[in-house]
Amino acid sequence: MTPMRLNKYFGPSTLVTAAFIGPGTIMTCSMAGIETGYSLIWALIFSIFATIILQEMAARLGFITQSGLGEALNKSLIKPVSRIIAFMIVIGAILIGNAAYEAGNIAGSVLGAELIFGASNWHPWIIGGLAFVLLLYGKYKWVERTLIALVLFMSLCFLITCIIVKPDLAAIIEGFIPSLSDGNILLVMALIGTTVVPYNLFLHASAISKKYKTGASLTDIRIENFVSILLGGLISICIVIVAASAQSGIGSIESGKDLAMQLEPLAGKTASYLMGLGLWSAGLSSALTAPLAAAYAAKGIFDFEKGDGSIYFKLTWLVVLLSGLIVISQGYQPTLVIKFAQIMNAVLLPFISFFLIYACNQPSIMRKEVNSLRQNILSGLVIIITLLISIKSLWLLF
């Protein structure tokens, strides 16, 4: 198979998939399986559907404009009042959402480090320090590829374990039927937030603009987007199935050891080390991408003169990294931090999605590749459904 043929299946969208198959996905999907069995698989189906739709728009925007979503908003919002309001919402959402997500990333990496080396108060600072050095000197790309490979290997282990545990197929099929109650609504929000990650919309557009200058087509990009995200969604569903199976023997998830028990049918006594390495890798790789995505968003909106080398670009990712470190260093239980981060992502998703749809409907930006009526209807439904679930969950909380 030629390199061009491979690009139809593996490219920037694969990085997006690896970004959402992080510690938050592993923990949230595990909680869903343990607490509700197979009954929330429908929420993942919706999340996969939503991710494919929104990431296609982000990828198309990056390919057509050869720039990121932040740059597109900067060009399309002309009136001063609309610019100020939009910029405040986007930057606020990105900084708050990415700071929460960064705390979850570091928390997940800490869980992994505890499985391998034991508990220590130094784990968050070592992980944060490593992320800082890699981001500062820009030597993170080869490290990130290695970490992503390890995460994908752990994901493969979940796929194999899913077959080994011999799940109830009839119950799995029943899980495709939507059911929402006050008792599981926050978990539904977390499943959506861990799959449809708002910062990935900025990251994907920027990655596409750098990857595909020439020699590609929208068809190639759409195929790659569909295949990569569908694969990631399949892995998430497998994690739910493994956790829901009676053989997992887990009552609740409070530590990395509880997560590791899921892989015991495959890895036996080495499950803790396998899960530990996977969580550490997933957390650290996401701890690099989340601050970068925030910095790319800020760069596009505020048009930093020196781009990636600007002091403002570096300050943006530093603020996100430090915010995550400060949250996790307060002694909060890592599993609670991760769940909160996923819920926050789902709450912020409708706002970021709205601006993406707005940009993709501007002929001055997208030329002939503006959204079709079908694309607007489908993306609009995603926003409405997510917003309604968000409102109901916040109503129950407060």
- Using one digit for the tens of pLDDT, what is the confidence trace for 153-210? 878 888 888 888 888 899 999 999 998 888 889 899 989 988 888 888 888 888 888 7
Range of the domain at 231: 3-397
d(CA 222, CA 13): 9
Nearest to 23 by CA among 82, 107, 79, 96: 107
The domain total for the chain is: 1
Q: What mean pLDDT is predicted for residues 314-325?
A: 91
**Smallest Cα–Cα separation from 367: which of 74, 61, 58, 52?**
61
Structure tokens at 107: 């928390």
End-to-end CA distance of the chain: give it in Å, rounded. Answer: 55
pLDDT at 8: 55
pLDDT in tens, 385-398: 999 988 888 787 66
pLDDT of residue 224: 86
CB atoms within 10 A of CB 159: 17
Predicted confidence (pLDDT) per residue in 109-154, tens digit:
999 999 999 989 899 999 999 999 988 887 666 766 777 777 778 7
What proportion of the chain, given as a percentage, has pLDDT over 90? Answer: 27
- What is the rounded average pLDDT of the residues 292-306? 79
In this prediction, residue 394 carries a pLDDT of 78
For 30-47, what is the mean pLDDT? 92
* CATH number for position 322: 1.20.1740.10
Name the more confident of 20 and 4: 20
Whole-number Å distance between alpha carbons of 275 and 26: 10
Confidence band of 355 (pLDDT split at 50, 70, 90): confident
CB neighbour list of residue 5: distance below 8 Å, 6 or more residues apart = none
Which of 36-45, 138-147, 184-193, 305-314 is least confident? Answer: 138-147
Would you say 256 and 115 are in contact if contact means Cβ atoms under 8 Å apart?
Answer: yes
Residue environment code for 213-224, b if the CB has 16+ CB neighbours within 10 A, otherwise e = eeebeeebbbbb
Tens-place pLDDT, residues 241-258: 988 885 555 666 777 788
Q: What mean pLDDT comes out for the span 68-87? A: 77
